C-alpha cells in the first residue's frame, strides 16, 4: 500500500501561487493523482502523473519524482473558487490510496 503525507492546511492570497507537497511510499507505485474536493462534494480529477516531470494544465501544474516518492500540485493565479481540499492519491495496482487532503483557503 501507500502512505500518503500532505500538509493539513495552507492559506494564500488571491492572485498568488501555492504549492502543495505530497510524499508517498514507492513500493508498487503505478501513478499519482491529484483531486480537488469542495466541501460536501465529490472529488474532481485534476491530474495524473506516471512519469517524472512537470505536467501543466492551465493554472494548475503537477510534478512527480518517482525516485524521491514526491509530488507537488502548483496552483497559480489563485481565485476564491480555488478554496477547497486537495487530495493526493497514489495508485497501487488497482487501488487508490488517498492522503487526508490539504485544505487551501484563498483570501482576498
Partner 1 sequence: ETGVTQSPTHLIKTRGQQVTLRCSSQSGHNTVSWYQQALGQGPQFIFQYYREEENGRGNFPPRFSGLQFPNYSSELNVNALELDDSALYLCASSPGTANTEAFFGQGTRLTVV
Binding stretches for partner 1 (CB under 8 A): 4, 30-31, 33, 35, 40-45, 48, 50, 87, 89, 91, 93-101
Cβ-based nearer residue to partner 1, 45 or 108: 45
Helices and strands (H and E) in the chain: how many: 0, 10
Cβ-based nearer residue to partner 1, 87 or 106: 87
- Phi and psi angles of residue 11, each rounded to the nearest 5 degrees, phi first: -130, 140
β-strand partners of 47: 34
Cβ-based nearer residue to partner 1, 65 or 97: 97
Q: Provide the minimum distance between the beta carbon of 30 and partner 1 in the complex, in angstroms, as a whole number.
A: 7
β-strand partners of 72: 21, 63
Amino acid at each position: 500500500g501507500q502512505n500518503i503525507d500532505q500538509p493539513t492546511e495552507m492559506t494564500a492570497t488571491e492572485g498568488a501561487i501555492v504549492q502543495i507537497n505530497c510524499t508517498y511510499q514507492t513500493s508498487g507505485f503505478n501513478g499519482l493523482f491529484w483531486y480537488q474536493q469542495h466541501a460536501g462534494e465529490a472529488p474532481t480529477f485534476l491530474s495524473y502523473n506516471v512519469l517524472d516531470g512537470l505536467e501543466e494544465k492551465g493554472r494548475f501544474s503537477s510534478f512527480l519524482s518517482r525516485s524521491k516518492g514526491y509530488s507537488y500540485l502548483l496552483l497559480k493565479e489563485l481565485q476564491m473558487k480555488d478554496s477547497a481540499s486537495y487530495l493526493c492519491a497514489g495508485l497501487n495496482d488497482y487501488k487508490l490510496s488517498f492522503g487526508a487532503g490539504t485544505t487551501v483557503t484563498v483570501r482576498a
